[in-house]
Amino acid sequence: MDPRLELRNICKRYPGVVANDGISLTVKPGEIHAILGENGAGKSTLMKIIYGATHADDGDIVCDGQLIETHSPSLSRSLGIEMVYQHFALFESVSVVENIALSVREKYDIPALSRKVTEVSERYGLPLDPRRLVHHLSVGERQRVEIVRCLMQKPKLLILDEPTSVLTPQAVRKLFDTLRHLASEGCSILYISHKLDEVQELCDVATVLRNGTVTGTANPKESTSAELARMMVGSEIPETHLDPSVPSADPVLSISTLSASAPDVFGVDLKDINLDVHGGEIVGIAGVAGNGQAELISLVSGERSDHATDAIRLCGTPTGGKSAGERRALGLAFVPEERLGRGAVPTHDLGDNAALTAHREGMVAHGLLNRRKARQFAEKVIERFGVKATGPSTIAQSLSGGNLQKFIVGREIELHPKAILVAQPTWGVDVGAAAFIRQTLIDLSRAGVAVLIISEELEELFEICDRLHVIADGRLSGALNRSEMTMESVGLLMTGRDRNSNGSYDHALSD
């Protein structure tokens, strides 16, 4: 039998970077095949080439024994290749079935299509109401729409790009059941991920990529995590070291009964949020993206301060009506999730980017910005935090994600804050830099700073947090201490099952 898909020597170059360099792999019918690699290893580029959304510079794609000459997404779909992107392509203001109708090529009528959607979604355990408007759906439900949309075409090869990054642990398990069901019917699945445990649980074969080349093929069920990680990273992963915390008596950052309506219709209302972060401890907030994190962050940072509320206090001072700059003057530092365009100005050099928040450190006199001091500050950050950059004249957007993150984290730490808010500290950062950033945050907290981390990576939060909250649908759970942090407990809270209780964790478990 011909393989479902065969790639021979696929090459793709972008200016300054080789995304794929001679990649070959074979996917059998009914096989769940993992493409494992770190961010930037070339996984997403490879998938776009397979789907025809991007063209390879060189190499062959063979599908069911047939060489694909000129590739395109529409050819893919006629061959039975379907793809679920990491970022969904749905129209938010129309219903589920209308979104699905857009990708149906035969003649259809909406009621009949609705019945078919319900039928497919039930068969694969992906419950979905076809009449609901997409903007009412949670991120997990939106992903179901995308998957059902693919399944309607009876695919022979389904590509999923990091599908679990938006799901709770329980929803991940359900998704895996669906995928196994699909594979048992003969559909091949290409599963892109950087999460070792998921690949080991689900996949039959794993092709590991690093820097655009295949570094190995393995049976993930028989390989150890360490073996796979070594193929992915190329070296041993450094471990972080966590001393017990000595929290300060009074909280440095304190949020009490904060409620706020969403700034726009697609946002999340925050409901009765209570949170204390003491000096010397790391408090984490876990949760699936889009459950109120962005709204909470912008209210704490002061980027959105139209809410003249005193619910947020910094070192005992109410922050109602205070701007982001005034909160920094009170001792708050902030590392946002978006590095380029929010944490740093992409087209400015590192010296100017140092001045973005460090201008308060004596860089401004008589209305003039002292660029020499800004450059010195940038040099200090580059040196102390091991940023790989030629110097303060390096343009921010030319740095890799991990290096820019090191620079931003370093800049904020060098402001000697009393409290620091960090969103997605290691998103898209390579393993070495991620370990360094985590250790830096631990050291900072042990030096007496209050550290608040908002992340979607549960392993990361478990590794470094002294206490952990979970946010779901704009509500924050009570705090879990280190012994209470388990996948099971956090997963339940992520589904928001305790929404009718007072937010305590016991209720969630007994629910």
The residues binding another protein (CB under 8 A) are 14-17, 55, 57-58, 69, 301-303, 323-328, 334, 336, 338, 341-348, 352, 355-357, 359, 364, 367-369, 398
CB of residue 477 to another protein, shortest distance in Å: 28
Q: Which is nearer to another protein, 356 or 509 (CB)?
A: 356
CB of residue 266 to another protein, shortest distance in Å: 17
Q: Which is nearer to another protein, 246 or 289 (CB)?
A: 289
Total length of the chain: 511
CB of residue 503 to another protein, shortest distance in Å: 30
Q: Which is nearer to another protein, 15 or 244 (CB)?
A: 15
Q: Which is nearer to another protein, 162 or 352 (CB)?
A: 352
CB of residue 303 to another protein, shortest distance in Å: 5
Whole-angstrom Cα distance, residue 346 to residue 343? 9
**Contact status, residue 83 vs residue 51, Cβ threshold 8 Å:** yes
How would you label 114-145 residue by residue, b for 16+ Cβ within 10 Å and e otherwise? Answer: bebbbebbeebebebebeeebeebbbbbbbbb
Q: Which is nearer to another protein, 249 or 265 (CB)?
A: 265
Classify 104 in phi/psi space as left (phi over 0), alpha (psi -120 to 50) or beta: beta
Q: Which is nearer to another protein, 364 or 509 (CB)?
A: 364
Q: Are strands 213-218 and 66-67 parallel, antiparallel or unpaired?
A: unpaired
Instruction: Give the CA distances from residue 384 to residues 21, 50, 377, 407, 411, in Å, rounded to whole numbers and listed in that order.
Output: 34, 43, 11, 10, 10
Q: Which two tokens stand for residue 219?
A: 């049976």
Q: Which is nearer to another protein, 128 or 355 (CB)?
A: 355
Closest CA to 2 of 36, 29, 39, 23: 29
In one-letter notation, the amino acid at residue 456 is E
CB of residue 15 to another protein, shortest distance in Å: 4
Helix axes of 371-384 and 350-358: crossing angle, nearest 10 degrees:
100
CB of residue 435 to another protein, shortest distance in Å: 26
CB of residue 476 to another protein, shortest distance in Å: 23
264 alpha carbon, distance to own chain's centre: 22
Q: Which two tokens stand for residue 507?
A: 């209720």
Q: Which is nearer to another protein, 69 or 109 (CB)?
A: 69
CB of residue 135 to another protein, shortest distance in Å: 22
